[in-house]
């Protein structure tokens, strides 16, 4: 008997919903069964692509041919649609942020358990090359013990779209790009969080944040700066990582950057003082060329399955989810802590994170 092919229906055919069609096409055992969107022209776009369209969410959920529902709607309705789909006997994939609060995710997780259905969140940037490089760098201790991670995404184009500028829909950059960067950060260390401080940006005058900066300290001593900005005409590096034996910078998505690390085969050579303004400094001089190694960024080899290949394996009980709901829940709780720290203008300590 041939392995089962699973039919997936997309609810919400905007930018991300339509992008998922491209992600699913290469997956042999998945097919897009159809699309539902409350906006007529988006259904017309789907139909022009040869996709079946549904007239209502109820039509999707009552279609016995649909095995999986993908939710790619504005954030505020994720919980409602997810619970309805799970209770209709469907497996569910949800775009990030999965919900606008941790309590809503807990309701979904309980429903998935009750209905014995799979619920997974599409945290796609766990597969980004820049992140995989940093993850491998830390795991392999290529620059010694890492004690500082700075992770940023910055642009100068404001908040994208329309509903992302509205609080009622779960808008704002902390719930947009912040979800990705914080999810990546928590995968880089097994340590619990010691303290959180944060500042939200409202430069654009919208009712939601147009960016944020958060300082996070872990109980193992690792410190992190996570920053998202939409008013940055000159960007800071995507990654800046300091270890006891070197420093790595990845400047942008093109993976430009370098690692400068101690040369283990050469005894330390004192640097030559440099002219710094109206004085000389050896402390702030670059390390000597003789005692350091400078190398370009190298891609990390990943053997991890794609998100959708993993989804099929999870449904069939053949694998653990690569994106676990408990991990997503921790990210949401960290986001709530960042909102609280920013509102109180305080460093929050003694956290259960």
Q: Please indicate, yes or no, if residue 23 is contained in any of the structural domains.
A: yes
Which of 75, 93, 122 finishes a domain? 122
Shared-domain flag, residues 198 and 104: no
Do residue 199 and residue 338 come from a single domain? yes
Q: How confident is the model at residue 302 (pLDDT cuts 50, 70, 90)?
A: confident
One domain, residues 87 and 172: no
> Is the same domain home to 108 and 143?
no
Domain presence at residue 285: no
Whether residue 2 is predicted with pLDDT greater than 80 in this model: the reply is no
Q: Does residue 289 surpass a pLDDT of 90?
A: no
Q: Per-residue pLDDT for 1 more than 80?
A: no
With beta carbons less than 8 A apart as the criterion, state whether 70 and 93 touch: yes
In a domain, 16, yes or no: yes
pLDDT tens track for 133-190: 999 999 999 999 999 999 999 999 999 878 899 899 999 999 999 999 999 999 999 9
For residues 189 and 220, is the Cβ–Cβ distance under 8 A? yes
Q: Which of 92-96, 112-116, 211-215, 268-272 has the lowest mean pLDDT?
A: 268-272
- Which pLDDT value is given to residue 169? 93
- Within-domain flag for 77: yes
pLDDT at position 285 over 90: no
Do 110 and 174 lie in one domain? The reply is no
CA distance 257 to 332: 31
The Cα 23–Cα 287 span in angstroms is 45
pTM over 0.85: yes
Helix (H) or strand (E) holding 195: strand 193-201
> Does the pLDDT value for residue 274 go beyond 90?
no
Q: Tell me how far the alpha carbon of residue 314 is from its chain's centroid.
A: 21
Residue 225, strand partner residues: 150, 215
249: pLDDT strictly greater than 80: yes
Q: Percent of the chain having pLDDT more than 70? A: 100
Question: Is the confidence at residue 288, as pLDDT, over 90?
Answer: no
Bridge-based pairing of strands 223-229 and 211-218 is: antiparallel
45 and 151 both lie in a single domain: no
| Domain match, 207 and 342 both | yes
Q: Is the pLDDT of residue 290 over 90?
A: no
| 166 CB neighbour count, 10 Å cutoff | 17
Which structure tokens are listed for 166? 């509205």
What's the confidence (pLDDT) of residue 266? 84
- CATH number of the domain residue 211 falls in: 3.30.360.10
Assess whether 153 and 223 both reside in one domain: yes
Q: What is the pLDDT of residues 70-80, one digit of tens each?
A: 999 999 999 99
From 72, 94, 122, the end of a domain falls on 122
| Residue-wise pLDDT tens digits, 20-69 | 999 999 999 999 999 999 999 999 999 999 999 999 999 999 999 999 99
Whether 353 is covered by a domain: the verdict is no
What pLDDT, on the 0 to 100 scale, is given for residue 309? 97
Mean pLDDT, rounded, for 269-297: 88
For residues 163 and 114, membership in a common domain is answered with no
195 and 59 in a common domain: no
Asked whether residue 289 is assigned to any structural domain, the reply reads: no
Residues 11 and 35 placed together within one structural domain of the fold: yes
On average, the pLDDT of the chain sits at 95
Q: Cα torsion at 253, 309, 72, 31 (round to 10°)?
A: 120
Task: Tell whether 188 and 114 lie within a shared domain.
Answer: no
Total count of domains within the chain: 2
pLDDT tens, position by position, 79-134: 999 999 999 999 999 999 999 999 999 999 999 999 999 999 999 999 999 999 99
CATH number at 69 reads 3.40.50.720
Residue 322 lies in a domain: no
Residue after which a domain boundary falls, among 122, 139, 170: 122
The answer to the question of residue 326 being in a domain is: no
Domain encompassing residue 63: 6-122
């Amino acid at each position: 008997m041939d392995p089962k092919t699973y039919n997936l229906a997309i609810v919400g055919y905007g930018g991300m919903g339509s992008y998922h069609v491209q992600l699913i096409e290469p997956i042999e055992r998945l097919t897009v069964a159809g699309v539902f969107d409350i906006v007529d022209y988006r259904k017309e776009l789907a139909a022009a692509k040869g996709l079946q369209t549904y007239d209502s969410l109820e039509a999707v959920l009552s279609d016995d041919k649909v095995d999986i529902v993908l939710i790619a709607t504005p954030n505020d309705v994720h919980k409602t649609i997810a619970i309805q789909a799970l209770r209709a006997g469907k497996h569910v994939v949800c775009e990030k942020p999965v919900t606008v609060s941790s309590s809503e995710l807990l309701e979904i997780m309980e429903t998935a358990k009750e209905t014995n259905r799979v619920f997974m969140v599409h945290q796609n940037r766990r597969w980004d090359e820049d992140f995989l490089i940093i993850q491998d760098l830390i795991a392999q201790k290529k620059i010694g013990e890492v004690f500082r991670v700075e992770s940023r995404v910055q642009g100068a184009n404001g908040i994208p779209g329309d509903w992302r500028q509205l609080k009622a829909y779960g808008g704002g950059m902390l719930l947009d790009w912040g979800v990705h960067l914080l999810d990546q950060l928590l995968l880089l260390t097994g340590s619990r969080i010691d303290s959180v401080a944060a500042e939200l940006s409202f430069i654009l005058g919208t009712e939601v944040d147009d960016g944020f900066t958060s300082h996070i300290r872990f109980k193992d001593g690792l410190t992190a700066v996570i920053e998202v900005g939409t008013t940055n005409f000159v960007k800071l590096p995507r990654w800046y990582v300091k270890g006891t034996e070197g420093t790595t910078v990845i400047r942008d998505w093109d993976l430009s950057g370098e690692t400068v690390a101690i040369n283990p085969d050469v005894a330390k050579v004192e640097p030559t003082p440099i002219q710094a303004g109206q004085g000389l400094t050896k402390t702030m001089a670059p390390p000597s060329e003789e005692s350091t190694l400078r190398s370009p960024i190298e891609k990390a080899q990943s053997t991890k399955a794609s998100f959708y290949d993993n989804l099929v394996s999870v449904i069939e009980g053949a694998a653990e989810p690569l994106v676990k709901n408990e991990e997503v829940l921790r990210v949401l709780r960290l986001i709530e802590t960042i909102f609280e720290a920013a509102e109180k203008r305080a460093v929050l300590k003694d956290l259960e994170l």
